[in-house]
Amino acid sequence: MKAKEKMDHVLRVMGEMFPDAHCELNHRNPFELTIAVLLSAQCTDETVNKVTKDLFEKYKTPADYLAVPLEELQHDIRRIGLFRNKALFIQKLCQILIDEHGGEVPEKHEQLTKLPGVGRKTANVVVSNAFGVPAIAVDTHVERVSKRLGFAKADDSVLEVEKKLMRLVPRELWTETHHRLIFFGRYHCKAQNPQCEVCPVVEFCKEGKVRMKPASNRKAK
């Protein structure tokens, strides 16, 4: 089976498994999404949502984040990993939004990646979820699943994984593909203990076939 056919089949199966795959970071607008994604680096969406529940009530605009001392913002997000740096990034980002973008989150990818704390992955999440521009953000789940299923090589960089996925999937399905891969990785093909025994795409998965072999066979190879 060619790679595109395999991807097509795998995405269809993932769609049946997770028909409501979506961005799990709670937000009401592009600005809140940007803050939430920035906070989510090396942190679970669940923890971010707990913190942003109160955070987004207290801080509604870029000016709100700049109206408090850095230490207060750091305290408000202290349950998030790397909270000191993230608070600093948020205040710098808010200052740039006010100075250069009229207080709004810019829609262009290249403008987003110039903001402090906003890398390619974050920009992809923001443009796709907030502005409807197709994009595949490669996070840890997308990278792991893509490599296990053989859509990318084990030593491919995150950018290489993204480019390979973009070549295999029609542009209009990029965002949906991103969500499906994330849900599949988060709830089924987990980093530890992937559910290979009940995996509906195991026949396409080198990693799964290796994991399903008896330990004695694995050693013999």
Kindly state the smallest distance separating residue 154's Cβ from ligand SF4, in Å.
13
The answer to whether the CB of 202 falls within 8 A of the CB of 9 is no
Residue 11 structure tokens:
């995405």
Interface positions, 116-145, toward ligand SF4 (CB under 6 A): none
Residue of 64, 121, 147, 213 marked catalytic: 121
Q: Least distance to ligand SF4 from the beta carbon of 187, Å?
A: 11
Q: What percent helix, strand, coil does the chain show, rounded to 5?
A: 65, 0, 35
Residues binding ligand SF4: number (CB under 6 A)? 14
Applying CB under 6 A, among 195, 213, 217, 218 the residue interacting with ligand SF4 is 195
Residue with tokens 């262009």: 108
Q: Please give the radius of gyration of the chain, using alpha carbons only, rounded to the nearest integer.
A: 19
23 is in an annotated binding site: no
Of these, 62, 117, 134, 208, which contacts ligand SF4 (CB under 6 A)? 208
CB 112 within 8 A of CB 105: yes
By beta-carbon proximity to ligand SF4, the closer residue of 38 and 205 is 205
Cα dist. 116→9, 48, 85, 185, 192 in Å?
Answer: 38, 19, 10, 28, 32
Closest CB to ligand SF4 among residues 102, 198: 198
How far apart are alpha carbons 35 and 159 in whole angstroms?
A: 23
Residues 135/178, Cβ–Cβ less than 8 Å: yes
Q: Does 17 bind ligand SF4 (CB under 6 A)?
A: no
Contacts of 148 (CB under 8 A, 6+ apart): 189, 194, 205, 206, 207, 208
Does 199 bind ligand SF4 (CB under 6 A)? Our answer is yes
| Tally of CB atoms within 10 A around 100 | 12
Is 189 assigned a ligand-binding role in the annotation? yes
Q: Which residue has the tokens 């799990």?
A: 24
Interface with ligand SF4 by CB under 6 A: which range of 16-24, 114-122, 161-169, 202-210?
202-210
Residue 121 falls in the annotated catalytic set: yes
32, 139, 162, 207: which one binds ligand SF4 (CB under 6 A): 207
Q: Cβ closer to ligand SF4: 29 or 195?
A: 195
**Residues forming the site for ligand SF4 (CB under 6 A):** 148-149, 188-189, 194-196, 199, 201-202, 205, 207-208, 211
Give the annotated binding-site residues.
189, 196, 199, 205
Which amino acids are annotated catalytic? 121, 139
